[in-house]
Amino acid sequence: MLVLTRKRGQAIKIGDDVVITVTEIRGKGSKSIVKLGITAPPGTKVLREEVEREVAQEMDLAKDPAFDISLLGDKVKEQ
């Protein structure tokens, strides 16, 4: 992994079109927070990394539900 040191206001460029700027740094130790500004072409997917993990956890809760939900009828229609 490439590790770069940046100060507030400094940026990193990825490829030709993506710029990530450190806009704010505050707090100390485990409570420290950094705010990043991201410029990227329209349509570029930018996600907090944990979102996909949260969705995967939710999918795991949703799979094979053990519900007894009479309003559904616990059968599928003849297809």
Partner 1 sequence: MLVQTKRFGQVEIDSSRVITFPNGLIGFPEFKEYVVLDFAGGNSVLRWLQSVQEPSLGFVTLSLYDVFPDYDPEFCPSDLADLGGASPDDLVLLSVVTVPPDIRKMTTNLQAPLVLNPATRLGKQVIVMSPEYTTRHYVFSTLESLMKRTG
User: For binding to partner 1 (CB under 8 A), which residues are involved?
Assistant: 43-47, 51-52, 54-67, 69-77, 79
DSSP at 53: H
- What Cα–Cα distance (Å) separates residue 7 from each residue in 13, 23, 26, 32, 39? 14, 9, 12, 14, 18
CB of 39 to partner 1, least distance (A): 15
CB nearer partner 1, residue 19 or residue 40: 40
CB nearer partner 1, residue 31 or residue 77: 77
β pairing state of 11-14 and 33-39: unpaired
CB nearer partner 1, residue 3 or residue 78: 78
